[in-house]
Structure 1
Amino acid sequence: MKPPPLPPAPRPPRIDAELLPSNWWQWVAENRLRDCTPESMLQTMLAADLPRAACEAALAQIESDPVFAAARRMQQLHRKLESVLANQQRLWERVPYYERVEKRSHVSTDEFMSRYVHGCRPLVITELARDWPALSRWSAADLKQRFGHLDVEVQAERHKDRRYEQNKLELRRTVRLADFVDQVVQGGTTNDYYLTANNEMLRRPEFAPLLADIGSLPEFCDRSALSRACSFWFGPGGTITPLHHDTLMLLHTQVVGRKRWRFVSPLETPRVYNYNGVFSEVDVDAPDLARYPRFAEVKVLEVVLEPGETMFLPLGWWHQVSSLELSLSFSFSNLAFDNTFSYQNPEIQDW
C-alpha cells in the first residue's frame, strides 16, 4: 500500500470563515462540487445577510480543505461512471428505431427476451389482452356495482404536496369504493386523488373476481404468481405519476381510457436529478431548465397506451405517466424469469 502523501503546507487560521454556520459550509462544498462559480455563490450568501468577510474566507479556504480535496477525488470517479453511461447512451440513440416506442400485436418469447428484456427497450403489445373479460366488463359502474360496499385505500389531497408520490404514505385515505367511484365520475379532470398500485386491494379475497377477469397470459409470464404480483389502478383523467423508475420489470395493461407514457433511458440517470429514492425532481411535461439544466440534453420517448394495449416496462427506464381520461389499468410483474434487482438509492431530502 502506498504511504499517504506529505501533508499540505499549514493553512491560515479560519478566523472570519468560522463565523459561518455549519450548514453554510456544507452548502459551499456542495455548490463548488457542482462547479458553481465563487462569484455567483458569494452573491447568494450576501443575499442571505451573511457577513462578507466570512463568505469570502470560506470560499477561499474550501479549496485547500483536505476533506473537500477527498470529495474532489471521489467526484473524478463519479464523473468517469457518468461518461461511460453517456457514451453507451450515444450508441443506443444511433439505432434507427430508438426514438419510437414500438407497438406490435405479438412477439415471440425468444424475441421478447432478446430485443426487449435483455435489449432493455420499452414495447407496447396491442393484442396481449385480447381475450380478457376485463376489456368488456370493467367500468366505473361495474366497480361500483360489484365492489362498492368495500373499503379501499386511495391517495387524496395530492394537490397540497408537490412530492405527493414520494410522500404517498402521508396521503393515504380509506374510503368506501362506491363513494370514490362517484367522486371520480363527477369530479372531472384532476390529479388530486387516485387509487394507485399501493392500495394492495388485489391481495384481498373480496376482490378475487377482478383477477378472474384476466384472461390468458403469454408464456413469458408465470400465471401461478399473478395474484401476488399484480396491481389495480383507477382514477380520473388528469392523474399524473411523476418521473421515477421501478426496481423490476412489469407489464401494464390499459383496460379503460388512455394513458400517455413518457420515457427516459436509465443511462440518462445523471441528468434527471435523482436525489431521493427512485424519483426524479424533473416534471417531464414542464421541465424547469433553469433549475435542472442538464435535463435539456435528455431525449424523451413518448407513446399513448390505448384501451386493450399492454406496456412492457424494461428495467430501470424512467417514466412519467398521465391519464388522458377516466382510467382503469392492471399491472403485473409475474415474469417467468429472474425479476429481482437492487439499487443503491440516494436519500437527499433537501436539495
Structure 2
Amino acid sequence: MELQDKIPVPIFNEVDRCVFLKEIYPERRPAVLRGVGLGPCLEKWTVEYLGEKGGDREVKVHVSTVTQMDFLHKNFVYKTLPFNEFVRRASETKHSDYFLSEDESYYLRSLGEDIRKEPADLSKQFPDLAEEFHIPQFFEPDQFFSSVFRISSCGLQLWTHYDVMDNLLAQVTGRKRVVLYSPQDALHLYLSGDKSEVLDIDAPDLKHFPEFVKAKRYECVLEPGDLLFIPALWFHNTLALQFGVGVNVFWRHLPAHSYDKKDPYGNKDPLAASRALQALERALNMLNELPAEYKDFYGRRMIQRIQKRTCCDDPSGGNKDSKTTLLNSPFTKPA
C-alpha cells in the first residue's frame, strides 16, 4: 500500500486579528499565515547576534547522533551548555567540540525558571530577545500560557505528537517542513500517550504499522516570517530543512479550570479527559475477570457506546469513516 498524497496546508496573506478570528480560527484546521509582523527578530537573529544576546546562561538541550529524534525510546541525551555555545554548535554541520560524535544534532526547547512549576516564557528567560519578537495579538492576554524558544540543527526531525492547547509556531530563521494529521486519524497513528510510535513518517514500516497509510497527511514548508496555526489535538511532525530558530506561542482556548494546574509544559490531557481515560482503564481491568468470549463481547458493546456518545462528523477535514474504523480497529478490540 502506498502512502496517501500530501494535502497542502492553506496559506493566508496579510492576516490580522479580525481575519484570524472570523475566517481561520473557527475552521479548526492548520493554516500558514504570511505577512504578520513578527518584529525586528527577522533581521536581527543571526547566530552571532543570538549568541551575544543570550550570553553564557546555561540551557538544557537534547543531543542526538541520529536525525530522527524519538521521545518514546529516548534516542538522545540531555546536556547543559552555555546558550552562546549551544547556538554555535547547533548552526554547524561538523563539530570540533562535541559530546557524542562530530555530526551530532542539537535541539533546544526552552523551559521555565522552575521547570516543575513554571511554563516557558520568552520574556522571562530571554527578555532582550523577547522585545524583538512581537507575539501576534490573536487571543486575549489572560489566555496566554507560554512562549517557547525552539532552536534546532539542520536535518533534525522531531517526533509526531499532539498538544492540548491551540498554538502558533513562528518560524523566525531557517526553513522547516511540518507534517500534520487530523485528530480524526488518531486510530491510524499508533499512539503511546500523546506521541506516535511511527518514527519514520516518510518511509514507515507498514508491516508493523499497516493502518498508518489511512492517515491523511497535511504538509507545509515554513519560510522565515511564517506563522503556522496548529489547532489543539492536531498531530504534527517537524523537520528542520536548515538551522532554524522559532517561537511557539500557546494559549488556553478552553476554560482555565479544564487544564491541569501542575502542567508547566502544557501537554497533559484536560482534566476531564484524564479522568475519563483512567475510568476506562479501570473498566478494561474489570473485563479481565471474564472469559475471553465475554471480554470480547462486552468490549465491543463499550466501543459501540463510545461511538454513539463521542464520535462526530469530521469538521476538520480528516477521515469521515472514523466510526467504522473505531469498531473495526485492531487497537480497540479487547486483547
TM-score, normalised to structure 1, is 0.61
With over 3 angstroms needed to count, the CA separation of the structure-2 counterparts of 1:201 and 1:180, relative to structure 1, is: farther
Q: Percent identity?
A: 25
Partner residue of 2:46 out of 139, 151, 154: 139
Q: What is the CA distance between 1:256 and its match in structure 2?
A: 0.4
The aligned counterpart of 1:210 is 129
The aligned counterpart of 2:195 is 279
The answer on whether the counterparts of 2:168 and 2:248 sit within 8 Å (CA) in structure 1 is yes
Q: Letter of the 1:133 partner, please give it.
A: P
SS in 2 for 1:307: coil
SS in 2 for 1:308: coil
Q: What is the CA distance between 1:198 and its match in structure 2?
A: 4.6
Alignment length, in residue pairs? 248
Structure with greater helix percent: 1
Alpha-carbon separation, structure 2, partners of 1:239 and 1:125: 23
The answer on whether the counterparts of 2:148 and 2:248 sit within 8 Å (CA) in structure 1 is yes
Q: What is the CA distance between 1:117 and its match in structure 2?
A: 3.2
Q: Letter of the 1:222 partner, please give it.
A: E
The aligned counterpart of 2:89 is 183
Partner residue of 2:225 out of 308, 312, 315: 308
Q: What is the CA distance between 1:174 and its match in structure 2?
A: 1.5
The answer on whether the counterparts of 2:13 and 2:33 sit within 8 Å (CA) in structure 1 is yes
SS in 1 for 2:91: helix
The aligned counterpart of 1:261 is 178
Alpha-carbon separation, structure 2, partners of 1:170 and 1:185: 18
* Runs of 5+ consecutive residues of structure 2 not aligned to the other structure: 1-5, 96-102, 113-118, 260-268, 282-330
Q: What is the CA distance between 1:210 and its match in structure 2?
A: 1.4
With over 3 angstroms needed to count, the CA separation of the structure-2 counterparts of 1:116 and 1:131, relative to structure 1, is: closer
Alpha-carbon separation, structure 1, partners of 2:152 and 2:34: 22
Q: What is the CA distance between 1:214 and its match in structure 2?
A: 1.7
The answer on whether the counterparts of 2:70 and 2:158 sit within 8 Å (CA) in structure 1 is no
Partner residue of 1:149 out of 38, 56, 64: 56
**RMSD, aligned CA:** 3.4
Q: Letter of the 1:171 partner, please give it.
A: V
Q: What is the CA distance between 1:215 and its match in structure 2?
A: 2.5
TM-score, normalised to structure 2, is 0.64
The aligned counterpart of 2:139 is 221
Q: Letter of the 2:151 partner, please give it.
A: F
RCO higher in structure (CA 8 A, sep ≥6): 2
SS in 1 for 2:8: coil
The aligned counterpart of 1:64 is none
Q: What is the CA distance between 1:131 and its match in structure 2?
A: 5.0
If you compute each CA radius of gyration, which structure gives the higher value, 1 or 2? Answer: 1
SS in 1 for 2:180: strand
Q: What is the CA distance between 1:167 and its match in structure 2?
A: 5.9
With over 3 angstroms needed to count, the CA separation of the structure-2 counterparts of 1:204 and 1:303, relative to structure 1, is: closer
Q: What is the CA distance between 1:243 and its match in structure 2?
A: 1.0
Q: Deviations over 1:234-264 (max 9, x none)?
A: 1211111111111111001100001001111
SS in 2 for 1:304: strand
With over 3 angstroms needed to count, the CA separation of the structure-2 counterparts of 1:305 and 1:163, relative to structure 1, is: closer
With over 3 angstroms needed to count, the CA separation of the structure-2 counterparts of 1:279 and 1:216, relative to structure 1, is: closer
Aligned: 1:295 with 2:212? yes
Q: Deviations over 1:186-239 (max 9, x none)?
A: 335967321124576646746211111122623x2235776x510001121111
The answer on whether the counterparts of 1:251 and 1:313 sit within 8 Å (CA) in structure 2 is yes
SS in 2 for 1:333: strand
Correspondences of 1:49-64 after superposition (within 5 Å): none
SS in 2 for 1:193: strand
Q: What is the CA distance between 1:138 and its match in structure 2?
A: 0.8
SS in 1 for 2:7: coil
Alpha-carbon separation, structure 1, partners of 2:214 and 2:253: 36
* Runs of 5+ consecutive residues of structure 1 not aligned to the other structure: 1-97
Alpha-carbon separation, structure 2, partners of 1:102 and 1:253: 16
Alpha-carbon separation, structure 1, partners of 2:208 and 2:156: 24
Partner residue of 2:169 out of 220, 245, 252: 252
Alpha-carbon separation, structure 1, partners of 2:142 and 2:131: 13
Q: What is the CA distance between 1:99 and its match in structure 2?
A: 3.0
Structure with greater strand percent: 2
The aligned counterpart of 1:71 is none
Alpha-carbon separation, structure 2, partners of 1:124 and 1:256: 16
Alpha-carbon separation, structure 2, partners of 1:165 and 1:238: 17
